[in-house]
Amino acid sequence: MEETSTLPLPDAFLDFLNENGLDPSIYTATDSTPRYIRLKPGCEACVEEIEAEIKCKLEKVGWLPDFFSLPPDIQIANSNAYREGKIYGIDAASGAAVSALNISEGDHVLDLCAAPGAKLCMILDLLGNSGTVTGVDVTRHRLAACRTLLQKYALGDRCRLFVADGTTFSLIPVRVHSDSKSWVQDPELIFYGQHSGVVGLSKRELYQTVCENDASSCGYDKVLVDAECTHDGSIRHIQKFEHWGWKTLQRRVLNAERTDSLTVLQLQLLSNGFRLLKVGGSLVYSTCSLTVAQNEDVVERFLLENASAELQDVEAAKNWPCRSGRIWKTLRFDPLTSQTSGLFVAKADAASVAVSMMLRNSNAESSHCRVPQRYNKPNPALASWQIRSIGFSSTKAIEMGLEYFLFHDTLYTMTIETELLPQAKLVLLEL
111 in a labelled binding site = no
Q: Among residues 100, 114, 355, 416, which is the contact residue for ligand SAM, using CB under 6 A?
A: 114
- Sites for ligand SAM among residues 123-182 (CB under 6 A): 136-139, 142, 165-167
d(CA 239, CA 85): 28
Indicate if 288 belongs to the active site: yes
Catalytic residue among 218, 288, 322, 369: 288
d(CA 86, CA 79): 10
- What mask of x and - would describe binding to ligand SAM in positions 89 to 108, judged by CB under 6 A? -----x--------------
Output 115 or 357, the one with its CB closest to ligand SAM.
115
Specify the pairing of strand 277-287 against strand 220-226. parallel
CB 111 within 8 A of CB 122: no
CB 201 within 8 A of CB 169: no
d(CA 402, CA 344): 30
The reply to whether 346 sits near ligand SAM by the rule CB under 6 A is no
Distance in Å, CB of 145 to ligand SAM, minimum: 9
165 in a labelled binding site = yes
221 in a labelled binding site = no
Q: Among residues 22, 39, 101, 113, which is the contact residue for ligand SAM, using CB under 6 A?
A: 113
- What mask of x and - would describe binding to ligand SAM in positions 224 to 243, judged by CB under 6 A? --x-x---------------
Size of site (CB under 6 A) for ligand SAM: 19
Residues making up the annotated binding site for S-adenosyl-L-methionine are 137, 165, 226
Provide the binding-site residues for ligand SAM, judged by CB under 6 A.
Answer: 94, 113-119, 136-139, 142, 165-167, 226, 228, 265
Active-site residues, by number, are: 288
